[in-house]
Structure 1
């Protein structure tokens, strides 16, 4: 179907959506001027993917810093995942963080508390 690639910038993460593999990956800082606009394409890709044939979805996150509006957008993404998981879709998150940055671990932990699907928080020395 369709691949998604958003080049990362100073205030925006790099985002890759691999339709065939069922992987949505995000890497970098996220504090765009308009998070709703920036993440709109990502949310649309995710809605399209989850509306298809029921294949598994894997989110691979290496997010370092997120402003409040990016956190809200990520909550919307996790809500879509939660809804799909509740309908029997295999969904899992792997959130990689630099072990020297406790704030990222704490943020990932807050998200994980609200999710019932598999959600790993993994130390990544190469992040």
Structure 2
């Protein structure tokens, strides 16, 4: 499958999905006017790909600066897809990258990580530049 690359905007995250390498990254802010219009073309191919992953390995890197409640629902859906793939036999590693000065994003990462039963979840503090 062709890679899916969408550059970040002021209200949508960068999407960098490399289906051949099984590496999926979302990075930036997420508060699009129409969450469904932005995320549906991202989530549909990902869901199909994860459904066919079998016992393969994949990695997700989630590096949000901010997301609104509508985007949080998408992240919950993503976590469900990730956990389903892991439960079906895939090795799924999730890295939640956060600014060490952003307690809110750390707490959100901890909450999302607790919901995963089968995938490996890791909180990663950004290194200062």
Name the TM-score class by shorter chain. over 0.9
Counterpart Cα distance in 2 of 1:34 and 1:101:
26
Which structure 2 residue ranges, 5 or more long, are not aligned?
none
Counterpart Cα distance in 2 of 1:118 and 1:62:
16
CA-to-aligned-CA distance 1:103-122 (integer Å, 9 cap, x gap): 11011111011111110011
* TM superposition score normalised by structure 1: 0.93
SS at structure 2 position matched to 1:72 = helix
For this pair of structures, how many residues does the alignment match?
Answer: 127
Counterpart Cα distance in 2 of 1:126 and 1:49:
34
8 Å CA contact 2:53–2:85 kept in 1: the answer is: no
Q: What is aligned with 1:119?
A: 121
Which structure 1 residue ranges, 5 or more long, are not aligned?
none
CA RMSD of aligned residues (A): 1.4
Question: Which 4+ stretches in 1 moved above 4 angstroms?
Answer: none
Q: What is aligned with 1:7?
A: 7
8 Å CA contact 1:4–1:45 kept in 2: the answer is: no
CA-to-aligned-CA distance 1:54-111 (integer Å, 9 cap, x gap): 3212101111101000000111111111111111111110011110111110111110
* TM superposition score normalised by structure 2: 0.92
